[in-house]
Amino acid sequence: MISKDERQFAIKEIIGAGAVRSQDGLRKLLKKRGASVTQATLSRDLREIGAVWVNSHDGGRYTLQSAEELPLTSFGSQVISIVANETMVVVHTLSGGAGIIAEIIDRLKSSNIIGTVAGDNTVLVVPRSARRTPEVIEFLKTTLIKGIH
């Protein structure tokens, strides 16, 4: 059994390598790699990694969106809370939502944020300095919560 991260990485590899025309076809290719998934899990994975269905001259296929193409409004509901101490900020998300929220935070390119680290449901946001932590909290609340809902 492979982990969720490994499964999602495999999905990205498969989609990136060629035309995947259906979820059933993708499920079969994943099974060959040792990942047996339900249709619901696969749909959720595709959504979380930013895969979309696009029409093409030969019928259509799945493709991956770049972070710049992902709509910010699609992911605000993933955020549960934003908490901090003096030096770090933690964004809690629904299970499986941390990766995309970290990607969005990185895409926002705040000069007060050095970077992010994502787990399954937790994003560690590293402010540029401890003095900037309150500004980072406000920025995240404004852009992830207030700006989305």
Is residue 94 exposed (0-12), middle (13-18) or buried (19+ Cβ within 10 Å)?
Answer: middle
Q: Are residues 18 and 83 located together in one domain of the fold?
A: no
Domain final residue pick, 65, 85, 100: 65
Q: Are residues 76 and 142 located together in one domain of the fold?
A: yes
C-alpha angle 98-32-15 in degrees, rounded to nearest 5: 50
Q: What is the pTM of this model?
A: 0.54
pLDDT of residue 76: 64
Q: What is the domain extent for residue 55?
A: 4-65
pLDDT of residue 143: 83
pLDDT of residue 59: 78
pLDDT tens figures, 38-83:
999 999 888 888 788 888 777 788 887 654 455 555 566 678 889 9
Q: What is the dihedral of CA 73, 49, 98, 8, to 10 degrees?
A: 160
Q: Are residues 23 and 78 located together in one domain of the fold?
A: no
User: What are the structure tokens assigned to 91, written together?
Assistant: 């964004």
pLDDT of residue 135: 95
Q: Are residues 35 and 57 located together in one domain of the fold?
A: yes
- Count of domains for the chain: 2
